[in-house]
Structure 1
Amino acid sequence: MSDTPHPSPFKSKRGLGRLFNALRYAVQGMQAALTHEASFRQEFGLAVIMIPTAFWLGRHPYEVLLLIAVVLVVLVVELLNSAIETVADAVSLEPHPLIGRAKDLGSAAVMITLIFAGATWAMVAYLRFWG
């Protein structure tokens, strides 16, 4: 018996085909998030405003990078939270303590990143105008 696990039929092919499939799935994921997730749409709309603003607010390249990075982290965590909620809803729409906990943990992760992003933007703004 071989030590290697049985290959999954769901694994994608190799090479450029894999790269194109990965890109296609990523675009489909963004479209799904923008279509079905109100929180992601709101945060994405803010990101469209905040990312160009970062170039004006940041005085140094590292400040600009930091401001953009925290905005992108919020979007990434929101996508992961939405993925958790989508899988949880696919498993069951009935109330279940573990499903509820999973959704709450995802929401807590989003909240922490939003607080961190807000604090980062406030600190850079303070340094720009009063520091």
Structure 2
Amino acid sequence: MTNPHKGRTGLDRMMRATRYSMDGLRMAYLGEQAFRQEVWLAAVLLPLGLWLGRTWVETALLLGSVLLVLIVELLNSGIEAAIDRVSLELHDLSKRAKDLASAAVFLSLVLCAMVWLMALWQRLAGGS
């Protein structure tokens, strides 16, 4: 059995996918305080990363670590929405899914902080 919603191809599919993605970003920004805070942090860190990175690899790591936090937060929000859609009742599996998604956000933040602290330390220490 084929999915009738998967029949689009080419430019039409790309345009719709882009619109759905923009809808998701808008919903996350308006409905998720953590995502909103991370967007504002990214608005500061992304330009700073362009200045701080000395090579394209350093710049990519700085910018990528910030974008990874946003990506993982979006996935976390999606998991939470799906769990809440199924049931708002407290359940061990629902808690596990939400806690695991939250842990992924936490680890992405730790990674981001480590990358930025190492880059700042290298810059302040006068390293290459």
Instruction: Give TM class, smaller chain.
Output: over 0.9
Please say if 1:123 is aligned against 2:118: yes
Report the TM-score when normalising by structure 1: 0.93
Out of 53, 60, 77, the residue aligned to residue 55 of structure 2 is: 60
Name structure 2 gaps, 5 residues minimum: none
- The aligned counterpart of 2:29 is 34
The structure with the greater share of residues assigned to helix is 2
* RMSD of Structure 2 on Structure 1 (CA): 0.9
Percent identical = 46
Give the deviation of 1:12 after TM superposition: 4.4
Name structure 1 gaps, 5 residues minimum: 1-5
Deviations 1:68-97 (A, max 9, x none): 000011110000000000000111111011
Deviations 1:30-75 (A, max 9, x none): 0000010000000011001100000111122211111000001111
Please say if 1:105 is aligned against 2:100: yes
- The aligned counterpart of 1:13 is 8
- Point out the more displaced range, 52-61 or 96-105: 52-61
Report the TM-score when normalising by structure 2: 0.95
Q: Alignment partner of 2:4: what SS?
A: coil
- Does structure 2 conserve the Cα–Cα contact (< 8 Å) formed by 1:58 and 1:128? no
In structure 1, C-alpha distance between the alignment counterparts of 2:10 and 2:55, rounded to whole Å: 39
